[in-house]
Amino acid sequence: MESIRTKQLSFKIGTKTILDNISLQVPDKGIYGYLGRNGAGKSTTIKLLLGLLEDQTDAIFIQGNSLKTNRTHIYANVGNLIESPCYYTKLTVFENLKYLDIIHNKGNKRIDEVLEMVDLHREKKKKTSALSMGMKQRLGIAMSIFHDPQLLILDEPLNGLDPQGIVEMRKLFCHLNEQGKTIFLSSHILSELEKIATHIGIIEGGKMIFQGTKDELLGQVNREVFLRTSNPAATVSVLRKGGFSPVKIDGESVVVTIGDDRRFDFMIKSLVEQQIDIYGLESRSADLEQIFINLIARANG
Amino acid sequence: MANTFYTAFLSEKYKLLRNREIFGVLIAPMLLIFAISAYIIYDIVNSGGASAIPNPWKVLLGRYVFQFFYLLYPILVALFVYACCDVEYKNNNYKILFTLPISKSNIFFSKVVFILLTLLFSILFAYAAFLISGYLLSLIYPVLGFQNYDYRQVIFYTFLKLFITLSAIAMIQLALSLLFRSFIYPIGVGMFMLVFSVLIAQKSFSDFIPYTGAYNAVMNIMSENDSFARLDYCNMLMVVLFMLISFYLFKRKGQL
């Protein structure tokens, strides 16, 4: 079962289409990275998923239930952090979580547990106005996971965190995922998403331009193979005859672009047949950032 | 977890009790009454002694207290109601509020009940302070004659009608505070209506303006009026009307 499913979700403001037939499929117990440029429709999607914007078409299903008719039931099992962290400024860190505890009835032990998880236990008695930006972000995350939800919807959860904080949060998300939680998150830090996401969705101009597993996305693009051989000139000649293109010499290496694994196997066999010794081989895939830029460029013609 | 009104009320109470403004509306009127009593004692001491006054509940204590109240109370209520909405405006906390597993109607009505209960306690504290002040003055200066007049019924109805007036004002201020994010508009409109209500207090249409009720409290205590009039019934209606308007505005807030 999918944790989040939208059936051709569209959203308009006046005559302007913000989202156009978005069919999200967020698998249960996965980490789904939702990518898009500023203004692509990410935050609108997230606000719709949380009921903060009205779903005009009854197209959103969370854990199998229609959001339109099961709002309060769904919220009991969903944690969220949207854009900037929300907390009550006149309450301390502890009191902010105590406020949620009155609703979710989890007990003071859970408050301490969550504060430990986000490394905010030392700031427990501090007023939120005295917290640094990164600490406020941690508090926002603590509030989103307090009631132990099965689904976390996080919009830019790494904003304002220092590098150490980013690593800690990455570990926390992975830990929560290992416990069986589904995480739907958007982030501008693509390298971080690449490290933790199992599935990726890319939105551009209100339309979904890619959705699938991370491997499917990474497999969509060619990779460059750097070869060090006994005879670079002969290597170039053999590879060109074999239909590889482009092939070029870069210093002591021959650089060849390969589409899939079968071509890779064919390349090795061709070189061995021609008795060219291979001294070194390095395969470099395009990273998520590069793929994202390429896909956006392709979508915009 | 339960999506109940009681859960919503407990959570609202926990959050809103941390606002300083609540103590302003709860305690300031009571402190004001004690301060006026202290001033009466100071005045007597300075003038060389007390002398008998016809109905000191009205002429001495009531006059001073309600002249302050008609200007002070509506402003305190406006500030308090705005503070109850402002906690959600800061950091766009409506995002927390509307993603809780509690229905919007439970959240809204728990806020309303909290506001009305706070006003009720405020009026009860002020009512008690008024009676205690008169009793203490009768002990310290029996010559003033507080003990010679049984004015409890008029005092009770004056405070009751003031509570109804303040409830109506609170609901209007709630609608304004939900409509405008900026502090200036709800408080500005409240201040304007307060001054305007004094100017038109004698006109018959003033019964439809709840803010007039605060000024009428002075008239009620001075003219020993303990009966309900059109203004009081209008104010009851205004409580319901503006509560419904506020509910509509609150539900609309969910669409960020």
Q: What tens-digit pLDDT sequence spans chain A (301 residues)?
A: 789 999 999 999 888 999 999 999 999 999 999 998 888 899 999 999 998 898 878 899 999 999 988 888 999 999 999 878 889 998 999 999 999 999 999 999 999 999 999 989 999 999 998 888 888 989 999 999 999 999 999 998 888 888 888 888 888 899 999 999 999 999 878 888 888 999 999 999 999 999 999 888 877 667 788 899 988 889 999 988 888 887 888 888 898 888 777 788 888 888 999 888 999 988 777 677 777 887 888 777 7
Going A151 to A156 to A159 to A164, the CA torsion angle's sign is positive
Domain parsing of chain B, residue ranges: 5-253
Is the Cβ of B184 closer than 8 Å to some Cβ of chain A?
no
For residue B229, give how far its alpha carbon lies from the nearest alpha carbon of chain A (Å): 42
Spatial contact of A27 and A3, defined as CB atoms under 8 Å apart = yes
Among B19, B93, B102, beta carbon nearest to A103: B102
- ipTM of the complex in this document: 0.86
- Kindly report whether the global pTM for this prediction surpasses the value 0.90: no
The single residue listed with the structure tokens 């301390």 is A92
Spatial contact of A229 and A254, defined as CB atoms under 8 Å apart = yes
Q: Do B18 and A84 touch (CB under 8 A)?
A: no
Domains, in order of start, for chain A? 2-215 (3.40.50.300), 222-284 (3.30.70.980)
> For residue B110, what are its two tokens?
């728990």
Going A289 to A206 to A70 to B85, the CA torsion angle's sign is positive
Euclidean distance between CA atoms A113 and A119, whole angstroms:
10
Is the Cβ of A150 closer than 8 Å to some Cβ of chain B?
no
Contacts A53 to B, Cβ<8 Å: 255-256
Euclidean distance between CA atoms B217 and B160, whole angstroms:
10
Is the Cβ of A149 closer than 8 Å to some Cβ of chain B?
no
For residue B24, give how far its alpha carbon lies from the nearest alpha carbon of chain A (Å): 16
Spatial contact of B238 and B223, defined as CB atoms under 8 Å apart = no
3-state secondary structure of A212: strand
Contacts A80 to B, Cβ<8 Å: 95, 99
Is the Cβ of A67 closer than 8 Å to some Cβ of chain B?
no
Is the Cβ of A212 closer than 8 Å to some Cβ of chain B?
no
Spatial contact of B22 and B54, defined as CB atoms under 8 Å apart = no
> For residue A96, what are its two tokens?
């902010």
The rounded radius of gyration (Å) of the Cα atoms in chain A is 24
Residue in chain A nearest B106 by alpha carbon: A72
pLDDT tens per residue across span A30-79: 999 999 888 889 999 999 999 889 887 889 999 999 998 888 899 999 99
